[in-house]
Amino acid sequence: MKLRHILVALVSAGFAIAAAAQQPLVLKFSHVVAKDTPKGKASDFFAQRAGELTGGKVKVEVYPNSTLYKDKEEMEALQIGAVQLLAPSLAKFGPLGAREFEVFDLPFIFDNADELHKVTTGPVGQMLLGKLEAKGIKGLAFWDNGFKSFSANKPLRKPEDFKGLKMRIQSSKVLEAQMRSVGAIPQVMAFSEVYQALQTGVVDGTENPHSNLYTQKMHEVQKHMTLTDHGYLGYAVITNKKFWDGLPADVRGQLEQAMKEATEYANKIAREENDSALAKVKAAGKTEVYTPTAAERTALKKAMVKTHEEMTSRIGKETIDTVYKATGFDPAKL
C-alpha cells in the first residue's frame, strides 16, 4: 500500500515537471501609447512573431497605454527585472545618464526619415545602444514614430506666439531648452497624464507625432495645431541585459529574428500611421490644422537651432558632429 502511494506521488510529480517544462517563458512588454500607433502595432507584431518563431516556447504579453507602468516607472521595472521589454522614446534616456540619446531631440536636426535612418542604422546608432550596457540594459533596435507638430489653444505661427505658454515635454533637457528658446515654459510630465493636463489647463500645449496626439484624443482639447515637423520622436527597444544574456542561445536567436522583422514592420508603417492620424484629426474638425509658410518655418528654425550649441556640452560635441556629418546639417547655413 505504502509503495503504491509512493509510486502515485512519483508519477504525479513527473507529470507536474513535464507540464512545467512545457510552460512558455512569459516576457512582459510594457509601453505607454495606444495599441493603434506605430509602437503599439510593432510590439503586437513582435509578440506574434516571437511566439511563432520559438514554436510557442516564448509568450510575449504586451501591456499598452501605461496599463502596467508609466514612463519613469517602466525604466525602473526593467532594471529590476519586473518587465523584460520596453520601447521608451529616445527622449527618455537622459534621466538614466545616457545623455547622448538627446541628440535626437535637437530641433530641426533631421529633415526627413532618410537622414535619421543614416544615423540609427550607422555607427552612431550602435554606439548609442552600446552605452546602455553599463546601465544593465541591452538595446535591441530603433523603431520609428515620426516628426512632431506643436499644438495649443492659440495659433502658433511665429516664435513670439510661444511666449509664456506652458508646454508639456518628455523628460529631456534638450526639449526643455527648445521650449525656452522661444520663451515657453517647459513642463516635464508622464505621457499618461498629458490629456488631462491639457483638458484642465495645467499645461497650454504640447508637441507630438500625429499618431500620439490622435490616439490620446489630445486634439479634442487643443484648438490649434501647426505642422512644423520640427523634431523627431522615435524609440529604442530595450531589454534587461542579464535576462537577455541568460536566454538559451537558440531562443535568443529566434527573438532577435522576431525583433528584426518587427523593426522592418515598425519603420514601414510609421509614416502611414501618422498620415492617417492627421487625416482623422482634420476630419474630427475640432482642431485648426495649419501648415506654416517657408518663412514662418525658417523663423522658428532660427530661434530653436540655438539649442544645438547650448546643449553641446551635455550631449557631446563628437556625437553632434557625427550626426551633422551623416545628415549634412550645417547650423551655419540657415
Taking the complex as a whole, the smallest distance from the CB of residue 305 to ligand LMR amounts, in Å, to: 22
- When asked if residue 213 is in the footprint of ligand LMR (CB under 6 A), the reply is no
Binding mask 287-326 for ligand LMR (x = CB under 6 A): ----------------------------------------
- When asked if residue 142 is in the footprint of ligand LMR (CB under 6 A), the reply is no
> Exactly one of 30, 54, 151, 212 binds ligand LMR (CB under 6 A); which one?
212
- When asked if residue 89 is in the footprint of ligand LMR (CB under 6 A), the reply is yes
Taking the complex as a whole, the smallest distance from the CB of residue 5 to ligand LMR amounts, in Å, to: 57
Closest C-alpha to 205, from 232, 228, 235: 228
User: Measured between alpha carbons, how far is 258 from 270 in angstroms, rounded to an integer?
Assistant: 18
At residue 125, the 3 state secondary structure works out as helix
Tell me how far CA of residue 165 lies from CA of 177, 182, 206, 231, in angstroms.
Answer: 14, 10, 10, 19
- When asked if residue 170 is in the footprint of ligand LMR (CB under 6 A), the reply is yes
At residue 239, the 3 state secondary structure works out as strand
- When asked if residue 33 is in the footprint of ligand LMR (CB under 6 A), the reply is yes
Closest C-alpha to 173, from 186, 154, 189, 156: 186
- Beta carbon nearer to ligand LMR, 54 or 228: 228
**Cell numbers that stand for 288 in this block:** 485648426
Taking the complex as a whole, the smallest distance from the CB of residue 23 to ligand LMR amounts, in Å, to: 31
> Exactly one of 69, 142, 191, 265 binds ligand LMR (CB under 6 A); which one?
191
Tell me how far CA of residue 190 lies from CA of 41, 170, 197, 212, in angstroms.
Answer: 21, 7, 10, 13
Residue ranges binding ligand LMR (CB under 6 A): 32-33, 39, 89, 145, 170, 191, 212, 233
